[in-house]
Amino acid sequence: MDQDSKKQAVADAALAYLRPKLESDTIVGIGTGSTANRFIDGLAGLKGSIGGTVASSEASAERLRAHGIPVYDLNSVDRVAFYVDGADEANAQLQLIKGGGGALTREKIVAAAADEFLCIADDSKLVRTLGEFPLPVEVIPMARGYVARELVRLGGDPVYREGVVTDNGNIILDVYRFPLAQPLAMEETLNNLTGLVCSGLFARRPADRLFLAGDDGVRELE
């Protein structure tokens, strides 16, 4: 199976898992990226069976609306039953690195608000230890130099993502060779860095279920 077919397979698996659980008032949180896009396209076939969605990026909101799927502001819904999103890396504890697409802050907010977080990915994303993929962090523009120096002090090698402004008006630093053997502790350290809005490390709020596509089909980890 090529990578595109794997993305399609996990999107289909997540839809099959959700279908019997959806009710007319169910709000589904929607992630960002090429795998999430497959899920959005599939969800279009179920749009009459749900209350609507909350999107983690302007790009996903636009795609949802193009399918005629209602998109709500997170503040206007009482409950997000499910959040479905891809990942850049996942470990066996379902802790993730996310933010390759730059939407990490809104992704983390919707994931935090959701009752159940379903991660959908191809098997190239499963790693023993997080950190081979550079960790994206969203930073207030004026804090870029300060935060970069702090990240170097923590053992990383931050690189400014040129030309990217997030949906929140901030910049992204991609941190290479970051020591992530203790993801929970490092997420907490990053959360305490002034000027750093959010890291793409999802350790405190890992996925609840990971649909992973390989050559032999889709398996589920929880």
Cβ(76)–Cβ(51) under 8 Å? no
The reply, when asked if residue 88 is annotated as ligand binding, is yes
Nearest to residue 117, comparing CAs of 46, 31, 212?
31
When asked if residue 6 is in the footprint of ligand 5RP (CB under 6 A), the reply is no
Question: 213 φ, ψ to 5°?
Answer: -95, 130
23, 58, 89, 107: the catalytic one is: 107
Neighbour order of strands in the sheet with 96-97? 89-90, 96-97, 201-202
In the complex with ligand 5RP, which residue's Cβ is closer, 25 or 62? 62
Least gap, CB of 153 to ligand 5RP (angstroms): 26
Q: Choose, by CB under 6 A, the member of 69, 82, 86, 183 that binds ligand 5RP.
A: 86
Instruction: Count helices and strands (H / E) in the chain.
Output: 6, 13
73 known ligand binder: no
98, 182, 184 from 201: Cα distances, Å: 7, 11, 9
88 binds ligand 5RP per the rule CB under 6 A = yes
Q: Residue 173: helix, strand or coil by DSSP?
A: strand
Question: Structure tokens of 193?
Answer: 């860095």
Binding mask 21-60 vs ligand 5RP (x if CB under 6 A, - otherwise)? ----------xxxxx-------------------------
Residue 107 bears catalytic tag: yes
Binding residue (CB under 6 A) for ligand 5RP from 15, 103, 137, 218:
103
Amino acid at 184: L
Residues recognised as catalytic: 107
Interface residue list for ligand 5RP (CB under 6 A): 31-35, 85-88, 98-104, 107
